[in-house]
Every structure is written in structure tokens, then in C-alpha cells.
Structure 1
Amino acid sequence: MKFSKFFLVALGSISMFVSCTNDDSDSTVDSGAYENGVFILNEGSSGQGSVSYLSSDLTNFTQNVHEIVNPGDLFGQYVQSMFFNGDYAYIIAGGSNKINVVNRKTFKLVAKIETGLAAPRYGVVKDGKAYVVNANTYADFGAPADAIGNTDDYVAVINLATNVVETTIPLNATGNRILLENGKLYISEPYNNSNILVVNPTTNTLETPINVGSDADTMEVNNGFLYVLRSPYGGPSEIVKVKLADSSMTNIVFPAELNDAKNLDIYENKVYYTVDTSVYAMDVTASSASTTAILSYPSTSAYGKMYGFAVNNGHIFIADGGDFTANSKAYVYSLTGTLHKEVTVGVGPNGFYFNN
């Protein structure tokens, strides 16, 4: 598969069912049961994905939130990511070509978006519309950039008032992660490609891409700069710091012991990144990468590295991928590396989404 080496099946055809609604009057659901906490997405394997919930104070934990609140509903395969808009959370199930729309406080199902999507990945919201990157068809890992399946990715533009895909924006490239900054969409073009794609959502057109080098994917914006972590196979990892006002760049090349760095996140003027099962941090203004780990954890992952990562609310959140056949673990550490919480989540936990 083009992006995730854990996603080993070809994706099916697009369902033509547009949406469904549920009665919001279920008295068994606490009206604010899932406020003020973090949703942990569990990708799953051949079966359905799931969502776990951990409260902000780390005292309340719920496994299989969607199943508890919406019994009998099929959530979807390969749960990929989540984004928020107003009272709603949108959970992308890439293996089922659908987006589940739920009330972000109760997790009660509101609608399903199932038309116009082809292997959806990540999304953002601007002015009442969602912009969701779709991987479309897949070429073999490592295939040339112009191979079939590597250039047919697109952005689906969804009207969130109707939950209908209004139009699509062809990327003519590989697309994966997406973020919104100053009215522009920035889309990572991972693996053997070299650009951060730039889309103008006002005109739904591509602008001049930013060439940051190959194998760039995880990215964050801070104080007018786009931080992009790239980890080319067999070469040094680095952070490319792009000044968005003029696209000028500064490169922070990592030493060899930090090869294959992943999972960039920025919190309180520090850049956090991971290598295998260790977490590191450096100041946003630093010119060199720290080689001193904040923490290392005992992974049970079949791949020997964490699969989900975030820093928020004064904590470091780690999801261990496990073996993708059984439930795995998520951990919450202090910013100095003290373990505060360990929970058993679903199969293949891959991300943290904060509902504050």
C-alpha cells in the first residue's frame, strides 16, 4: 500500500449510499460523556476499526465508544483520522471509503458520508467545507512517481451542511496529510516525491509546490513557519523549516543515531519527534537536533516502533501498534518522561484527537 505498510489489502469500490441519520434522543447516552478528553483512533486490521476515549484528567477510560453509543452500526475498516467542526467529529474510515459524522460530546451517530470518496486519508475544515485528501488507487510501494496510482490522488470538497462531496481537486501527485494555514491548504507528498503541495481553496487550484525533499510527511505550523520532518530511506532524517511568507528554508539535519525519525509535533515552543520507541525534543529556534531521549517505552509492536504520537495538555501520548491482530496499548507520560497512564485500547492505535 502506498502509505501504510500495515495496510495490506487493496481498497474496494466506493459505496453509493450517501448518508444516514440516527435519533438523537437516546436517553442512555450522557449529554457530555466524551467532552474534555482525547479520542484514540484504532485502525483495526481486517475487521472494523474502533475509538477509545480517555478523559483529560486521565481518570475515565472507555473502550469501543462508537459500539457502545451506536450498537450494531458498522464503523468501517482502517480508521485513519479525525477532524472536528462545531459540535461534530468526522472520523475517516479509509478502508470503507466513508466518513462517520458523530456528535463530539455524545458520540451519537449523525450521518455517514459514503459517496465521492476513494481511500480517504486526512481532512481539515474551512468556511463550512471539509477538504479531505483521497489516495484513490494504489501503486506498489517504491514505484516511480508517475506510476498509475501515484498521481491520481485528489481532495474531496465536502459541504458540511449537506454532507455531500461538491467537487474534487486533482492533485496530479501523491497526497497524504493536510493542514490549513492562512487560507491555504498544505498537503504532504510522501515517499519518493519531494513536494509539499499547496492548494488555494478559494479557487480549488494548485499553486506552486514547496520542494522540501523526498520522504516528507509529518508537518506542523508554528509562528509562520512550516516544520516538515523527512526521513529518506538509508539517509539522514531532517527537519525542513519553511518560512511561509516567502518559502525560504532552513534544514536541520539529524545525526546518524536519529535516522528514521518520525512523528513530528510542536507543543509550547518545543519540537517533539520520535525514533523507534524513544521521544526527543528541541526548541523551535534550535539549529541542531537533541540526541538525548526524554523517554523510551517497552514496545510490543511487531515493527518495534510507536504508531501514534501526540503532545498536548502537558502530556506525551504514545500509541503502540502491537501486532495488528489483538488489542494494543496507549501510554501517557509527563513532559519529562514519567509514566502517568497506561490503557489497553483497540487493534492498531494510530492517533490522538483532543476534544477540548
Structure 2
Amino acid sequence: MAISDTKLRSIHGKPYSGAPEITDSDGLGVRVTPRGIINFQYRYRWQGKQHRIGIGKYPAISLHEARNKVAELRLSLDKGIDPKAAASHGRATAKPTVADCLAYWKKTYVDVSLREKTQALYKSTVIKHMTNVFPGVPAEEIPVRSWVDLFTEEEKINQRRARELLVQLRSAINWCIRRQYLPECSIMKISPKDVGVKAAVGETVLSYNQLAKVWLAIERSRASTSNKLLHQMLMLYGARNSELRLAVKGEFDREEDLWLVPAEKSKMRKIIRRPIFPAIEPLLDKAIMTYGDVLFPGPDLKAPMSISGANRFLGRIKDVAGVGDFTAHDFRRTLATRLSEEGVAPHVIEKMLGHELGGVLAIYNKHDWIAEQRAAYQLYADKILSHVKMISG
């Protein structure tokens, strides 16, 4: 049965429970998701096997345009040319798609100008989630209505992520426009304030009892030793994730009992000096004994684990700890808050967090208060571990 534009309009963007595939003619058909997302496709036989080519999403691609495209592909087939190869050749000189724009942005900006942590962030968000939207459709030809529909669906999944994806994609598209890779794109007409919600400023501070529950959830999990040690040490040190996750054995001076974070791994681009204190020693020794130089490796046991791997583990821990929502960064805020309550001096806490001091202290005083840091770290660890003992019986 031939597809009609009326039928497509009645399906688009609405809950759908009918047949997942609807055929037209000459190999053209559509696949329809339960959410009413419609994708045109061309099915054909080549060298005795069935093949399928995606043509694009409706309504960014109209039924008329889809039929014209199929006619072109059938002509290639009649000439003895695999339509898939013909389509790939045509795309080489075609107008850039969203996927092309993201690839160009990644190659010319993300990979050459940003820090590893920021690169990983973009790869796990906008590049991962937006590369396959509107496949085959030139980015400059996607109407505003289609973008609105797309981000309306994203809002249903996650309000905060929807806005984050829009902000990041606008940034990537704008880069392509400024570099003359793309003439224009209607996504630039959508304001971030009209999509989703803004990520809240972190305010989570865990109690010692909550920290103990998280500690036990980590200890009892079936995760790798690498992941367990990383997150327990993050709790005790209040360090930035990348400072510890990327750490190697040589950064820990056992003779001086110091952990020296190199400037290139520091957010402030300056060396951070933290003490090795009694409660951290068994965890550090176990990491060195188990893994050697790279203290917190990923699955290959050679390179440090990725930020996405660490975040996935902490996400699983949140589900079982029963203390509400929190992130690894909240360990830093918690350490600062709890030690302030214990009377630890602000400048000592700032050094523990790896912050730069302000005013005269920043210019003239290069002292790191290592002894004071060590005493504060041990006090904090003792508090956590005493609550671990209490709730574990």
C-alpha cells in the first residue's frame, strides 16, 4: 500500500503501536518508532542479499523528496552500481549534515584546543547523543520545527540534559558557521532558556553517616579494585577526580610522605602538595601493589580509567547507598564543610582542595601547611571510618 503524506502527518510525533515498517513502492518504506519518529529507508537486493539505506527523518525529508531520492538510487542499481556506494560518493560533496558538523568541530576544535577531561565530556554528551540525528539531511535545511520536536523529546528523557545538549550543539554549529564550514543553521534561532532547565548549582553536603553508607556501598560492590580504591580515596582526599584518577606511582613520595600533583594535571596549572596520612596509606599501598605505575587503570589495566567509567560506577553506588543524589565533586564540598565545622583553618582547607590562596597569601606565602593538612585529613578519615564501624556492626 502506498504511503501518503496524510498518513505520515497522522503518525508523526504521536504514540504509535502499529506495524514498525510501512512500505511504499520501488523499495521505499518507513520505519516508525513507538514515539512516532518516522525514518525513510530504501530496501534493495544486491548480489543476492538484502540491503537497506537510511534516507532521513520525516518531516525534515518530505515524502516527495524521499521518492526522488529512491529514483536516483534505483537508477544507480540499473547501471550496476551498488546504491550504497553511490550514496556514499554523493555525500562526499554534499552539504554537511549534523554528523559532519560535529565531526568537523571535534577534529578542528575539541581535539586540538581542549583538555582531555573536557574532550571526554563532549564525547559522552553532544557527540554521542546528537551525531545520529537527522541522518543524511543537510544541517542548513533542517527547519526550526524539527529542532523543537527533537528537543521536546529530549526534555521527556531528562530536562537538564536537554538544555545541556542544546547549548553544546549550538556551540558546535556556531563554530562551523564561523569557520565557513556551514552557511547557516536554524538551531541558532532556539534559545537555551526555552529548552529544559538549567543545571542547579551544587549544594549537596553529606553527613558522616551518609559518607559511611557510601563507603560501605563501594566496599561491598562487585566493581574492580581500581574503581573501589579511586572513589574511597576521593572521599578521603577531597581531590578533583582527574587529579587522582590520572595519578601514577611516581607522584607519591613515600620518603617525604607527600602526594605531588603535577602542574599539567592541576586545574590551576600549578603543583599541588598534599600529605600522605595514616588512613590513606593502606589504600595507596593496595593500589600500588595491585596495579603498579598506573594506580587506577581501566579495563585494559594499562591506561587510567575514563571519566565516563568512573561516573558510571558512582551512579551504581548512588542506587544502592540510599543517601540521595550526589557526585564525586560533592566529596570536596563535604570535606570543606565538615572540616570547617571541626575548626580547621580556612587556608588549610583551601590547600587541601588544591585552590589558590588570594590576596597577600597568594603573593608572599608559599607555605602549604603540610602538617596541618595531615592532621585535618586524618581527623576527617577517623570520623568517616568510625561511622562505618558503627553502621556495619
* TM norm structure 2: 0.20
